[in-house]
C-alpha cells in the first residue's frame, strides 16, 4: 500500500535490503553527480584556456566575469573557476557518503541521517552548475578568424599521411615519411579539412539528430515521472 501511495513500481522484497539501501542510494546518486561535475569542470577548464589572450578563440560574456582589483583591462573567468571548485565539493560529498557507510554495521544506523544532507547539497550544486554553464556557453562569442589561424601546418600531418594511404602506400611507410619530412607540410583550407571528416563521430560526421532524439526521449521520460510523482503527492495531500 505504501509503495502504491508513493507511486513506486513495487516494494522492496527484502526488508533488510531496504534498510541497507539507506546511504547506499545517496552515495550512488552522488557518484553519478560527481562524474557529471567532472565533465563540466573539464569543459570549464577548456573554455578558460581557449578564451585567454594567448588563444582568444572565445570571448566570455562580461556578465559572468569579474574585474581585477588592480588591472582595469582584466575580465576574470571567476564563474568557470568556481565550477572547478564546486566539482571538488561534490567529489568530497561522494567520499563523505561512502565514508559513512564503510565501517557501519548492517541495518539502519542514526549516522545515516547525515547522508540526506550530502545528497541534497550535491544535487543542488550540480543543477546550479548546469544552469550557469548553459548561460555562459550561450553568451560566448566565437572568433572564427583566430580558430582558422590555429590550423598550423602540423595539424594536417595525419591528413597528408592518409592521402598517401589512399594512393596505395602502407600506413607504416606513410607515417614515417610524413614524420621525417614535416617541413614539407603546408597550411591547408581549414574549412575544407573540417568538412572532409565525414566518418562517424568526426567533425562533419556528428549525428545531431540522434543527439536531439536522445535528449527529447530523456525529457519525455522525466516529465512522465514528474507528472506521476506530482499526482501522487496531490492524492496524499
Q: What does the chain look like in DSSP terms, one character per residue?
A: -HHHHTT-SS--S-HHHHHHHHHHHHHHHHHHHHHHHHHHHHHHHHHHHHTSTTT-SEE--GGG-EE-SS-TT-EE-HHHHHHHHHHHHHHHHHHHHHHHHHTPPSS--GGGHHHHHHHHHHHHHHHHHHHHHHHHHHH-EE-HHHHHHT--GGGGHHHHHHHHHHTT--HHHHHHHHHHTGGG-----HHHHHHH--STTSTT---HHHHHHHHHHHHHHHHHHHHHHHHHHHHH-
Structural domains in the chain? Answer: 1-150 (1.20.200.10)
pLDDT at 50 over 90: yes
Average pLDDT over residues 70-88: 92
Which pLDDT tens digit goes with each residue over 200-228? 889 999 999 999 999 999 999 999 999 98
- Given a cut of 90, whether residue 95 has pLDDT beyond it is yes
| CB 188, CB 156: distance < 8 Å | yes
- pLDDT of 133 reads 96
Mean of pLDDT values over 48-58: 94
Q: Which of 115, 26, 130, 132 is nearest to 77 (CA)?
A: 132
Enter the pTM of the model.
0.85
- Check pLDDT > 90 for residue 5: no
Q: What percent of the chain lies above the pLDDT cut of 70?
A: 100
Percentage of the chain with pLDDT > 90? 75
Residue in the block written with cell 577548456: 46
Q: Residue 99: what pLDDT?
A: 92
pLDDT confidence bin for 4, thresholds 50/70/90: confident
Residue 98, pLDDT above cutoff 90: yes
Lowest mean pLDDT among 33-42, 68-77, 212-221: 68-77
Q: What is the pLDDT of residue 85?
A: 97
Q: At what angle do helices 171-180 and 157-166 cross, to 10 degrees?
A: 140
> According to the model, what pLDDT value does residue 93 have?
97
C-alpha 126/C-alpha 87 separation (Å) is: 8
57 neighbors 146 (Cβ within 8 angstroms): yes
CB atoms under 10 Å from CB of 93, counted, come to: 25
Q: Does pLDDT of 119 surpass 90?
A: yes
Amino acid at each position: 500500500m505504501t509503495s502504491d501511495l508513493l507511486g513506486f513500481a513495487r516494494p522492496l522484497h527484502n526488508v533488510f535490503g531496504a534498510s541497507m539501501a539507506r546511504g547506499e542510494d545517496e552515495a550512488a546518486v552522488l557518484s553519478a553527480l560527481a562524474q557529471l561535475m567532472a565533465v563540466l569542470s573539464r569543459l570549464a577548464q577548456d573554455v578558460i584556456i581557449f578564451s585567454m589572450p594567448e588563444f582568444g578563440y572565445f570571448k566570455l560574456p562580461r556578465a559572468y566575469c569579474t574585474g581585477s582589483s588592480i588591472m582595469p583591462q582584466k575580465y576574470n573567468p571567476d564563474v568557470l573557476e568556481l565550477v572547478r571548485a564546486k566539482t571538488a565539493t561534490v567529489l568530497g560529498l561522494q567520499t563523505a557518503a561512502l565514508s559513512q557507510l564503510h565501517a557501519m554495521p548492517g541495518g539502519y544506523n542514526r549516522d545515516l541521517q547525515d547522508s540526506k544532507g550530502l545528497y541534497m547539497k550535491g544535487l543542488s550544486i550540480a543543477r546550479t552548475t548546469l544552469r550557469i554553464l548553459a548561460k555562459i556557453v550561450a553568451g560566448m562569442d566565437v572568433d572564427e578568424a583566430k580558430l582558422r589561424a590555429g590550423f598550423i601546418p602540423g595539424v594536417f600531418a595525419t591528413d597528408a599521411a592518409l592521402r598517401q594511404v589512399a594512393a596505395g602506400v602502407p600506413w607504416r611507410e606513410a607515417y614515417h615519411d610524413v614524420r621525417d619530412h614535416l617541413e614539407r607540410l603546408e597550411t591547408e583550407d581549414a574549412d575544407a579539412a573540417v568538412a572532409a571528416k565525414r566518418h562517424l563521430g568526426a567533425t562533419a560526421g556528428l549525428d545531431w539528430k540522434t543527439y536531439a532524439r536522445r535528449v527529447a526521449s530523456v525529457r519525455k521520460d522525466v516529465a512522465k515521472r514528474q507528472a506521476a510523482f506530482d499526482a501522487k503527492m496531490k492524492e496524499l495531500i
